[in-house]
């Protein structure tokens, strides 16, 4: 890859630094979800550890292998393995400042989180201890099996608490088009190591179920909508569904309010940075770059949209390279997944803005 934008270098350094991964102590190897405005880590986040492993694999492929990247990968696997050693699943959020049972998310497990963890473990095949990595991947895939229903779908959330009578009405607790990314994450592990047939058949059916969702329904420009598009992109980049690109293209144009050349961006992506959250902006920029590279979205109007997204996103990058979740209190925390999304989005933007195409391997390692 060519010369990087200074924002990337800062984000990359921060993500590889001591603020993000514990270097010692009982939480050694753990990846934090975010740091509060005082700079204190609030919780460890297993889903984000899956993202982190995938991001490390992307970093190694895009910029070349490095001992530092391999060290971070092995330390992350060490933490995950320790959490699974007792036979249970790690808590959704392992809080460092208060009792984790106070968060309803820790009353069960999410298929999405386990799928992202499994995908990350699979992605670092050439970076981590192979024996530990394979054993860990098998354990994570086994934990996904109970989420497979008889009708070949993924149950989104499985409660293990008698105190939670029903799941909160949140997108992450119900089946939906975002599960296209769950399905393709699971399927991607099969390219590294065989997965249980029930899991493979379920993942293929889930992807097929949600593939056409945007053809009949309107997508909002939110977090789960971009997960849906990312699922389509992963299917296209891996060659499982080459025809996914036009589906993703039409849905993306709908989301950003650009179905016609004269259209303005949807309100969510207009105006000042304070009106947005950085993770969704980064997802929007990253997906726009992917579709510019793979789906022929290369008009001057579209390029101005990408430039706008890149400029607004960079307003969230702090002097030390962290990416703020929001510019408005009380959400001005330094967010780790926003930082990974932003790093990859700005990297993709540099490539397509320079008139080049994105490599399949980069897209296969979409965080």
Average pLDDT over residues 191-199: 87
Is the residue at 294 inside a domain?
yes
The whole-angstrom distance between residue 334's C-alpha and the CA centroid of its chain comes to 17
Residue 21's domain spans which residues? Answer: 6-364
CA 284-287-288 angle, 5° bins: 80
Q: Tokens 């097929």 belong to which residue?
A: 208
Task: Give me 248's structure tokens.
Answer: 């993703």
Q: Which two tokens stand for residue 282?
A: 């980064």
**pTM for the whole thing?**
0.93
Which CATH number fits the domain that encloses residue 30?
A: 1.50.10.10
- Reported as type and span, the H/E element at residue 110 is strand 108-110
Kindly report, residue by residue over 248-292, the tens digit of the pLDDT: 999 999 898 876 555 556 666 766 677 789 999 999 999 999 999
Q: What percent of the chain has pLDDT over 70?
A: 91
Residue 355 φ/ψ, nearest 5 degrees:
85, 15
The 3-class SS string of 211-233 reads HCHHHHCCCCCCHHHHHHHHHHH
Does residue 335 sit within a domain? yes
Domain count, the chain: 1
Contact assessment for residue 237 and residue 366, using Cβ atoms and an 8 Å cutoff: yes
Closest CA to 239 of 188, 280, 201, 287: 188
- Stretch 35-56: mean pLDDT: 95
In a domain, 76, yes or no: yes
149 lies in a domain? yes
Cβ neighbour number for residue 105 with a 10 Å cutoff: 17
All residues at 6 or more sequence positions from 314 whose CB lies less than 8 Å from its CB, including other chains: 7, 346
In a domain, residue 192? The reply is yes
Q: Cα dihedral sign for 3, 287, 366, 170?
A: positive
Instruction: Compute the mean pLDDT over every residue in the chain, rounded to the nearest whole number.
Output: 90
Backbone angles phi, psi at 95, to 5 degrees: -75, 145
What the block records as the tokens of 342 is 């932003």
Identify the helix (H) or strand (E) that includes residue 335: strand 334-335
* 359 occurs within a structural domain: yes
Q: 5-25, pLDDT tens digit by residue?
A: 569 889 999 999 999 999 999
pLDDT at 161: 61
- Asked, for residue 1, whether it belongs to a domain, the answer is no
The string of pLDDT tens digits covering residues 82-119 is 999 877 777 888 889 776 557 777 778 999 999 999 99
């Amino acid at each position: 890859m060519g010369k990087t934008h200074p924002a990337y270098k800062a984000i990359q350094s921060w993500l590889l630094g001591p603020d993000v991964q514990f270097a010692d102590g009982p939480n050694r190897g753990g990846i934090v979800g975010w740091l509060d405005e005082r700079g204190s880590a609030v919780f460890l986040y297993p889903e984000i550890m899956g993202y982190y492993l995938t991001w490390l694999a992307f970093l190694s492929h895009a910029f070349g292998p490095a001992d530092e990247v391999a060290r971070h990968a092995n330390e992350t696997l060490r933490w995950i393995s320790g959490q699974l050693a007792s036979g249970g699943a790690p808590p959704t959020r392992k809080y460092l400042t208060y009792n984790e049972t106070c968060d309803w998310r820790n009353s069960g497990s999410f298929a999405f989180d386990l799928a992202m963890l499994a995908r990350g473990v699979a992605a670092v095949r050439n970076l981590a201890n192979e024996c530990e990595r394979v054993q860990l991947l098998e354990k994570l895939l086994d934990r996904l099996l109970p989420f497979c229903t008889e009708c070949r779908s993924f149950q989104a959330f499985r409660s293990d608490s008698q105190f939670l009578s029903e799941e909160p009405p949140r997108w992450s607790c119900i089946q939906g088009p975002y599960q296209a990314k769950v399905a393709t994450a699971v399927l991607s592990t099969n390219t590294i190591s065989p997965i249980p047939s029930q899991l493979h058949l379920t993942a293929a059916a889930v992807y097929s179920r949600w593939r056409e969702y945007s053809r009949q329904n309107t997508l909002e420009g939110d977090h789960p909508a971009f997960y849906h598009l990312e699922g389509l992109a992963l299917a296209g980049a891996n060659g499982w569904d080459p025809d996914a690109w036009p589906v993703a293209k039409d849905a993306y144009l709908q989301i950003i309010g650009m179905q016609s050349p004269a259209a303005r961006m949807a309100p969510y992506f207009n105006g000042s940075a304070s009106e947005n959250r950085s993770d969704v902006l980064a997802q929007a920029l990253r997906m726009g770059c992917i579709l510019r590279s793979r789906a022929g979205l290369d008009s001057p109007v579209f390029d101005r949209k990408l430039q706008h997204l890149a400029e607004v996103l960079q307003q969230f990058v702090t002097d030390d390279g962290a990416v703020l979740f929001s510019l408005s209190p009380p959400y001005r925390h330094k967010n780790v997944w926003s930082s990974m999304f932003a790093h990859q989005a700005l990297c993709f933007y540099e490539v397509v803005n320079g008139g080049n195409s994105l490599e399949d391997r980069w897209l296969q390692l979409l965080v």
